[in-house]
Amino acid sequence: MKFTCLSAVLFFSAITSYGVFVRAYPLHASCKIQWTFPSVSCESFSSKITTQAATWKSADNCANGGEKCLYSITSTTADEIKGTHETPVKHYVDDISFKMTKSGDGCNVEAFSTSQTWYAYLDYSTNYCNLENLMTGAGLNATQGFTESTSDDVCTQYSSRNCEKY
């Protein structure tokens, strides 16, 4: 175990010192997204996300490929939803959260997903898709005035995302 930790530290020190990474990703596989829903209340957003997660709780939806399955909501409050998503092949678990802030008649949401695996750096945009799949599955992306803001700086491999696969 000591060798593995030391190897990881030396590896990351070496590659960052020599500028091997062309893109600036978060230091750990994760994704932060800002969503704006001017015509959807936070209560409605919460209901739709939790319903979609319950619909995709089992592995049944994994059979046709993709990762629109194995979601679990662990807690909800008036302003935050927390849960997990498990990848169907390797069974890695990612923590997901949605922090909601009322904005007029709508809702602003800070969505976040992060790998529970401590050494995860690249994730093939899985953390982005953990969030995006739930939101689009619930149909929230089709609401009037919807906007999304994220980038490779705060969302691992965002620019190469493929949510049909992940």
pLDDT single digits (tens) 133-160? 999 999 999 999 999 999 999 999 999 9
Per-residue pLDDT reduced to its tens digit, 20-52:
444 577 789 999 999 999 999 999 999 999 999
Provide the whole-model pTM. Answer: 0.84
Q: Which band of pLDDT confidence, cut at 50, 70 and 90, is reported for residue 5? A: very low
Q: Which domains does the chain have, with CATH numbers?
A: 25-160 (3.30.310)
Burial (CB count <10 Å: 0-12, 13-18, 19+), residue 134: buried
Predicted pLDDT at 23: 55
pLDDT confidence of residue 9 = 44
Q: Assess whether pLDDT exceeds 70 at residue 104.
A: yes
| pLDDT confidence band for 129 (50 / 70 / 90) | very high
